[in-house]
Amino acid sequence: AEDPLVVFTPSGKRGRFPVGTPVLTAARQLGVDLDSVCGGRGICSKCQITPSYGEFPKHGVTVADDALSEWNKVEQRYKDKRGLIDGRRLGCQAKVEGDIVIDVPPESQVHRQVVRKRAEVRDITMNPAVRLYYVEVEEPDMHKPSGDLERLIEALEKQWEIKGVEADLRILQLMQPVLRKGGWKVTVAVHLGDETTPPKIMQIWPGFYEGTIYGLAVDLGSTTIAAHLCDLKTGEVVASSGIMNPQIRFGEDLMSRVSYAMMNAGGDKEMTSAVRDGMNALFDQIAGEAEIDKELIVDAVFVCNPVMHHLFLGIDPFELGQAPFALATSDAMRLKATELDLTLHPSARVYLLPCIAGHVGADAAAVALSEAPDKSEDLALIVDVGTNAEILLGNKEKVLACSSPTGPAFEGAQISSGQRAAPGAIERVEIDPVTKEPRFRIIGSDIWSDENGFAEAIATTGITGICGSGIIEAIAEMRLAGVLDASGLIGSAEQTGSVRCIQDGRTNAYLLWDGSAEGGPTITVTNPDIRAIQMAKAALYSGARLLMDKFGVDTVDRVVLAGAFGAHISAKHAMVLGMIPDCVLDKVTSAGNAAGTGARIALLNTKARGEIEDTVRQIEKIETAVEPRFQEHFVNASAIPNSAEPFPILES
């Protein structure tokens, strides 16, 4: 008779195997993605499967008389000790008896997908740089003298097919008592190696190590540093934390930090140690939150703009402050954490994504990794708005990138009542087109200013100022209500018929909130505020428009707003202002912290690292500073929304 047929779902892989073949063995032979940390010894339970058609002999019940029963005992023991979901079996213990369809649940797949929080652009496939392996090492034998390490390496090669593993002195110092304590059974964490390094043992535990190992995805911004601590076994984010970038004391924005380095001997070194110290403090904080030992963090991925990239690496950013803006290197970096003075696991590794160009950094590369414009069927415009806007435009055919100096106005700086997004800041604004009266909402409360209970709701925060998204909405609403003309001038009370339009020096201002009666601030939108936003939005728009010229198009299919700021601004208001090109409103989406997501993808999937390096090499870089058309677009884009280009979709 023919051997039984075994079909795996969801892969659909199939083959015939002799009765008695363990499912794990069948899976391996067919190349089915079925996990195992203990190598089929019934310890790790990573290999769980569910028979969905056909059956294996039942757990334990036939132990005494079943000819194949030895394996049942191992599985029964596991079930008694740890429990097993009903219907689940250990793939390394369950053996083929007859035709069967076997389902491999997601948590049993090595390269399982980690669920992303929002509408998926691209799933994260688990393929971390460091993995855990359980091995049984041969005991020493006087007749066949060999070192314990050699036998451990041999075991890894035989049981896991990992070739050429190395170990450093630290492991040698730890290893002998661990091997003996575990009765020659140990779990090792192995960095699987990359283009520059062979596989390496990073840690060793006696017996089967129940715990996990961790990695960090770090978004090193000029203002804040945010980190996600990820479980490298499951891909889950177990803690997230952030701090202000301690370099702020050397300059709010990047260019002032570059000039600090230029003006002060050793200034770059000061900034390098400031950011590294801050990073270590952040890592202590996040490990504390997750209640884990920092030494369990074995891998870290960093994304940052070019100036932060250089300062973090200890490279003087001098060249980035002047044309032709030459990077020390645009390649991805693979380093040891100790080279950057980071206190994690003593042999932890660090990966920095590649930079795209002198002004377009590893953060933009991370956005490209997360949003994958190079895999998009339709033409996507992706903007990451910060003090510099990084802009990507592309589809499957090609991807273009540039950066545009928007300045800090979008973050509330340079605005008379401006402030960072924090409780107390006005973030949403509506203006009645007839009465010209405003209503607004502040961060920390979801009650509008004209609703009952507003005063109580904001009693603790007060109204302190207006943040970036608030000022954008305010200006767009002023334009829609007709208190502001296309050139950016606020009308007088007589012209607009609104007492909200007050005289402010030689121009007018719009009174959003008068808190003087309660001793609070008076919040107005002034003409210089509008000027600052006009400059910022013109820079953003002309960068995008320049890429469209280079691409040879007049419209885009969709717009993605990335970054924390992008998550807060309303698409409609951004378009009324002419920040972004005309586009169908529901094709404008927010990607949240796409750079952070890109860092997480690179952390959890080493294959994605190679992919983004290839993608970045193919991205066409456009330098806005040398493009004459940029100036032309800029002038037109200063108007609200634009003096030269129609916004037909917006108008309809």
38 touches ligand FES (CB under 6 A): yes
Q: What is the DSSP letter of 590?
A: E
Binding residue (CB under 6 A) for ligand FES from 17, 46, 360, 463: 46
Assess contact for 423 and 430: CB atoms under 8 A: no
**What distance in Å separates the CA atoms of residue 237 and residue 116, rounded to the nearest whole number?**
10
Name the segment binding ligand FES (CB under 6 A); options: 39-47, 282-290, 547-555, 601-609.
39-47
Token pair in block for residue 401: 């990138």
Binding residue (CB under 6 A) for ligand FES from 42, 354, 412, 578: 42
Name the segment binding ligand FES (CB under 6 A); options: 41-49, 152-160, 361-369, 470-478.
41-49
Token pair in block for residue 330: 């645009």
Name the minimum Å distance from CB 35 to ligand FES: 8
Name the minimum Å distance from CB 585 to ligand FES: 51
Dump the DSSP string for 27-40. Answer: HHHHT-----SSSS
Determine the residue type at 617. R
Would you state the torsion angle of the CA atoms of residues 263, 267, 272, 278, taken in this order, to the nearest 10 degrees? -100
Assess contact for 426 and 470: CB atoms under 8 A: yes
36 touches ligand FES (CB under 6 A): yes
Assess contact for 621 and 360: CB atoms under 8 A: yes
Kindly report the CA angle at 336 between 331 and 341, in degrees rounded to 5? 110
Name the residue number minimizing CB distance to ligand FES.
92
229 touches ligand FES (CB under 6 A): no
Residue 240: strand pairing partners = 228
Would you state the torsion angle of the CA atoms of residues 527, 652, 391, 641, taken in this order, to the nearest 10 degrees? -20
What is the SS3 assignment for 621? strand
114 touches ligand FES (CB under 6 A): no
Name the segment binding ligand FES (CB under 6 A); options: 89-97, 248-256, 401-409, 470-478.
89-97
- 10-29 footprint of ligand FES as x/- string (CB under 6 A): --------------x-----
Name the minimum Å distance from CB 106 to ligand FES: 17
Name the minimum Å distance from CB 22 to ligand FES: 9
Nearer to ligand FES by Cβ, of 205 and 510: the residue is 205
Q: How many residues interact with ligand FES (rule CB under 6 A)?
A: 15
Beta-sheet pairing, 14-16 with 48-53:
unpaired
4 touches ligand FES (CB under 6 A): no
Report cis status (omega within 30 of 0) of the bond before 324.
Answer: yes
534 touches ligand FES (CB under 6 A): no
Tell me which residue has tokens 């409360």: 445
47 touches ligand FES (CB under 6 A): yes
Measured from the Cβ of residue 650, the count of other Cβ atoms closer than 10 Å reads 16
**What distance in Å separates the CA atoms of residue 171 and residue 252, rounded to the nearest whole number?**
44
- Provide Rg for the chain, Cα atoms: 30
Binding residue (CB under 6 A) for ligand FES from 27, 32, 43, 186: 43
Name the minimum Å distance from CB 112 to ligand FES: 15
Binding residue (CB under 6 A) for ligand FES from 8, 27, 32, 40: 40
Name the segment binding ligand FES (CB under 6 A); options: 87-95, 224-232, 555-563, 636-644.
87-95
Token pair in block for residue 446: 């979801």
Binding residue (CB under 6 A) for ligand FES from 4, 21, 45, 521: 45
Name the segment binding ligand FES (CB under 6 A); options: 13-21, 38-46, 260-268, 436-444.
38-46
Name the segment binding ligand FES (CB under 6 A); options: 33-41, 260-268, 342-350, 404-412.
33-41
200 touches ligand FES (CB under 6 A): no
Nearer to ligand FES by Cβ, of 108 and 605: the residue is 108
**What distance in Å separates the CA atoms of residue 228 and residue 631, rounded to the nearest whole number?**
40
44 touches ligand FES (CB under 6 A): yes
- Residue 565's Cβ-count burial label (10 Å; 0-12, 13-18, 19+) is buried
Name the segment binding ligand FES (CB under 6 A); options: 43-51, 355-363, 569-577, 585-593.
43-51
Q: How many helices (H) and strands (E) does the chain have?
A: 18, 29
Name the segment binding ligand FES (CB under 6 A); options: 84-92, 135-143, 339-347, 348-356.
84-92
Distances in Å between the Cα of 468 and the Cα atoms of 42, 263, 530, 542 are: 56, 31, 12, 20
Sign of CA dihedral 516, 519, 520, 526: positive
Name the minimum Å distance from CB 48 to ligand FES: 8
Nearer to ligand FES by Cβ, of 41 and 500: the residue is 41
Report cis status (omega within 30 of 0) of the bond before 4.
Answer: no
Token pair in block for residue 262: 């230029």
Nearer to ligand FES by Cβ, of 41 and 88: the residue is 41
Dump the DSSP string for 87-106. Answer: T-EETTT-B--SSEEEE--G
Q: What's the order of all strands across the beta sheet hosting 425-431?
A: 438-442, 425-431, 465-466
Token pair in block for residue 236: 């889950």
**What distance in Å separates the CA atoms of residue 189 and residue 62, rounded to the nearest whole number?**
38
102 touches ligand FES (CB under 6 A): no
Instruction: Of 57, 87, 60, give the one whose Cα is nearest residue 72.
Output: 60
Name the segment binding ligand FES (CB under 6 A); options: 54-62, 86-94, 437-445, 460-468.
86-94
Nearer to ligand FES by Cβ, of 89 and 633: the residue is 89
Nearer to ligand FES by Cβ, of 46 and 441: the residue is 46
Name the minimum Å distance from CB 90 to ligand FES: 5
Name the segment binding ligand FES (CB under 6 A); options: 32-40, 183-191, 249-257, 585-593.
32-40
What contacts 452, CB < 8 A, 6 or more positions away? none
Nearer to ligand FES by Cβ, of 49 and 580: the residue is 49
Residues found near ligand FES in the complex (CB under 6 A):
24, 36-38, 40-47, 90-92
